[in-house]
Amino acid sequence: MSLDQFWHYAPSLLSGFGVTILCWAVGSTLGLILGFAIALLRRLEIPPLNGLLRAFIELFRGTPFLVQLFLIYAGGPSIGLRLSATAAGILGLGLYASAYFAEIFRAGFAAVPAGQIEAAASVGMTPFHTMLRVTLPGALIAAVPAIVNMLIILTKETVVLSIITVPELMYQVQTMAAETFTAFDAIFAMAVFYWLLIEAVSRLGSQVETRVTAFLAHEARA
């Protein structure tokens, strides 16, 4: 592929990169919010609700992301859910992510030692303040490494959105490859883009991780 050809496709590649970031950012945020809500609701331990939430998690963790996307995009209209490819992609990514984030947050809550909650009870703190000031910060700190990991996985999962014609990076690269018969160059260009993105995400992630866990370092000094 000549440089001229590449420049010809550069705008669409850049726009694809933009769409990828958009889908990732919005989808992940949706997944985090929804996952957190699910984890909180599960703590209430209301029997029928709990069963539903568990079924939701099992469903989205137990089926391939690709299948879920097809069901939302192609099957959505039959239940009145008519979405653009991008909207369906973002919704799909968000739902898929929420199932994992729900479990990550649940594990985070479980990681807060009972003693810390007892200490709050022993000074007469309300359940609300205990949650806000003790349980929640502890759970979030414990969950940070798993959250960062999941965000990285989601970056790569955005590739799947190309299959329902979301004009993200993978989709643009495939178009370029098909039109120029230069699969290798195109895929190589794509690899560079994803690598840049994931590098950025994981650097940001490890910075956050270092920050929040700095004061939890286990080696106490005498």
Partner 1 sequence: MSAPMIELAKVSKSFGANQVLRDVDLAVQRSEVVCLIGPSGSGKSTLLRCVNFLEPYDSGDLRIDGRLIGYEDVAEGTRRPMAARTLREMRREIGMVFQNFNLWPHMTALSNVAEPLRRVRKLASREAADRAMAMLTRVGLAAKADAYPSRLSGGQQQRVAIARALAMQPRLMLFDEPTSALDPELVGEVLEVMKSLAAEGMTMLVVTHEMGFAAHVASRIAFIDEGRIIADGPPRRVFHESPEPRVRQFLQTYQDRNSF
* Residue (11 or 127) nearer to partner 1, CB: 127
Give residues 83-112 in contact with partner 1 (rule: CB under 8 A). Answer: none
Residues with Cβ within 8 Å of 61's Cβ and at least 6 positions away in sequence, in order, are 99, 100, 103
* Residue (7 or 128) nearer to partner 1, CB: 128
User: What are the structure tokens assigned to 165, written together?
Assistant: 């014609």
Measured from the CB of residue 146, what is the shortest distance to partner 1 in angstroms?
17
What is the C-alpha to C-alpha distance for residues 71 and 94, in angstroms, rounded to an integer?
A: 14
Size of the site for partner 1 (CB under 8 A): 27
Distances (CA, A) of 85 to 19, 32, 62, 159, 172: 12, 21, 23, 13, 14
Give residues 138-157 in contact with partner 1 (rule: CB under 8 A). Answer: 138, 141
| Residue 220 touching partner 1 (CB under 8 A) | yes
User: What separation, in Å, do the N-terminal and C-terminal C-alpha atoms of the chain show?
Assistant: 64
**Count of CB atoms within 10 A of residue 102's CB?**
26
Measured from the CB of residue 50, what is the shortest distance to partner 1 in angstroms?
23
Give residues 112-141 in contact with partner 1 (rule: CB under 8 A). Answer: 113, 115-116, 118-127, 129, 133-134, 137-138, 141
Interface with partner 1 by CB under 8 A: which residues?
Answer: 113, 115-116, 118-127, 129, 133-134, 137-138, 141, 215-222
